[in-house]
């Protein structure tokens, strides 16, 4: 197996009801590759940063054995920046600013050695860039894509073009409603599946996630958490856990897809326990397995 991840590498400024951080390490590619690295390595990354990208960020990716050959560094450029504020209901987030910076002129180049990657994970970036990456990969076995309201609203027709080439789309409930123009999530998934992806995963924050294919609806519980400090990156950690598990097992059956959704939820639950990427930095495989098992207990019951 081989995994290619494309996405943002960012400096995030985050406010939650519990505190705030400025210009901390973030970005979809950082969360996805860090989460996936607990299952599979090396994860290959395609992205861009400016000369101001912190050494600590590079060190974390190196420590997780992420392959950085596809990471472009523009010494005179500024790294992508994003800033957001969460409400008391942590499912509600206002984006305060998005500065694309080096992403504005980014033309992704997939290194020769990455072109035969079997799993491609398109993190949340401009759908035009997502497609340019896909154009440079030879016949991947599975393409997983994440997106967000920013692109659904601003680059709708480009996103629709990208979706034609996707096997699994991951998005949250409000994004699913926005993309499909359908309030009911089961109907929304049908509408989205007709756009291309054979499987749709709809994340519902603290209420778990739904996996919908032609033949099944699987409802994954959310881990009941008392301490959620910062939901930033939960969605990307989810994608990373899911992709990492699929790469580790090389099994794309529906049963294994269900397991991958629970591994995704497991990594997301660790992510939100601390600010930024801190919750993902120092996990062990044993800790991940323990939490995975407790997910199973959450919704297991006897018939009589
Ligand atoms: P999540 O909380 O999983 O939706 O992801 C949050 C991460 O997405 C943050 O680390 C941001 O840097 C990154 N992000 C936010 N908006 C964008 C965007 N428009 N394009 C690319 N990455 C973004």
Q: What are 240-264's pLDDT values in tens digits?
A: 999 999 999 999 999 999 999 999 9
The count of residues in the chain is 304
First to last CA, the chain: 43
Question: Which residue owns the Cα nearest ligand 1 atom 5?
Answer: 233
Percent of all residues in the chain with a pLDDT value above 70, rounded to a whole number: 100
Give the separation between CA 25 and CA 192, rounded to whole angstroms. Answer: 32
218 lines ligand 1 (CB under 6 A): no
- Residue 25's Cβ-count burial label (10 Å; 0-12, 13-18, 19+) is buried
91 pLDDT above the threshold of 90: no
pLDDT of residue 109: 95
Please tell me the distance between residue 74's alpha carbon and the centre of ligand 1 in angstroms: 20
Distance CA 233, CA 242 (A): 14
Nearest to 266 by CA among 296, 238, 245: 238
Tokens of 32: 């996805």
pLDDT tens for each residue of 12-65 = 999 999 899 999 999 999 999 999 999 999 999 999 999 999 999 999 999 999
Which one of 82, 145, 268 would you pick to mutate in the ligand 1 pocket, going by the greatest count of ligand atoms within 8 A of its CB?
Answer: 82
Segment 267-278 mean pLDDT? 95
Residue minimizing CA distance to atom 11 of ligand 1:
27
The dihedral of CA 120, 125, 126, 127: what is its sign?
positive
Report the pLDDT value the prediction gives residue 73, as an integer from 0 to 100: 98
Beta-ladder partners of 80: 10
The Cα–Cα gap between 226 and 194 comes to 38
| pLDDT score, position 210 | 97
- Looking at residue 226, what is its pLDDT? 86
pLDDT at residue 303, as a whole number: 86
Residue 152 CA to ligand 1 center (angstroms) comes to 14
Residue 89 has pLDDT above 90, yes or no: no
Q: Whose CA is nearest to atom 21 of ligand 1?
A: 125
In this predicted structure, the answer to whether residue 192 has a pLDDT above a threshold of 90 is yes
Token pair, residue 5, equals 């991840």
């Amino acid at each position: 197996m081989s995994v290619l991840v494309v996405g943002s590498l960012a400096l995030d400024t985050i406010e939650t009801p519990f505190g705030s951080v400025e210009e901390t390490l973030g970005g979809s590619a950082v969360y996805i590759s860090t989460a996936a690295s607990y299952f599979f390595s090396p994860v290959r990354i395609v992205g861009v940063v400016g000369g101001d990208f912190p050494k600590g960020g590079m060190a974390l990716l190196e420590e997780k054995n992420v392959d950085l050959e596809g990471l472009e560094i523009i010494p005179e450029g500024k790294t992508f920046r994003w800033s957001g504020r969460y409400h008391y209901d942590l499912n509600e987030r206002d984006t305060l600013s998005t500065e694309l910076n080096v992403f504005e002129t980014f033309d992704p180049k997939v290194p020769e050695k990455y072109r035969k990657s079997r799993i491609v994970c398109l993190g949340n970036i401009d759908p035009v860039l997502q497609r340019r990456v896909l154009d440079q990969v030879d016949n991947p076995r599975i393409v997983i894509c994440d997106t967000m309201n920013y692109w659904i609203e601003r680059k709708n027709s480009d996103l629709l073009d990208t979706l034609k080439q996707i096997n699994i789309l991951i998005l949250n409930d409000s994004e699913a409603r926005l993309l499909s123009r359908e309030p009911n999530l089961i109907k929304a998934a049908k509408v989205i599946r007709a756009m291309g992806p054979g499987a749709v995963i709809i994340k519902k924050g603290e209420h778990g996630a739904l996996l919908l294919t032609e033949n099944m609806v699987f409802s994954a519980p959310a881990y009941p958490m008392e301490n959620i400090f910062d939901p930033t990156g939960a969605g990307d950690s989810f994608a990373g856990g899911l992709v990492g598990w699929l790469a580790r097992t090389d099994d794309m059956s529906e049963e294994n897809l269900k397991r991958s959704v629970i591994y995704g939820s497991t990594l997301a639950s660790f992510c939100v326990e601390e600010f930024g990427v801190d919750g993902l930095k120092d996990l062990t495989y044993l800790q991940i397995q323990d939490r995975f098992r407790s997910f199973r207990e959450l919704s297991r019951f006897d018939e009589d």
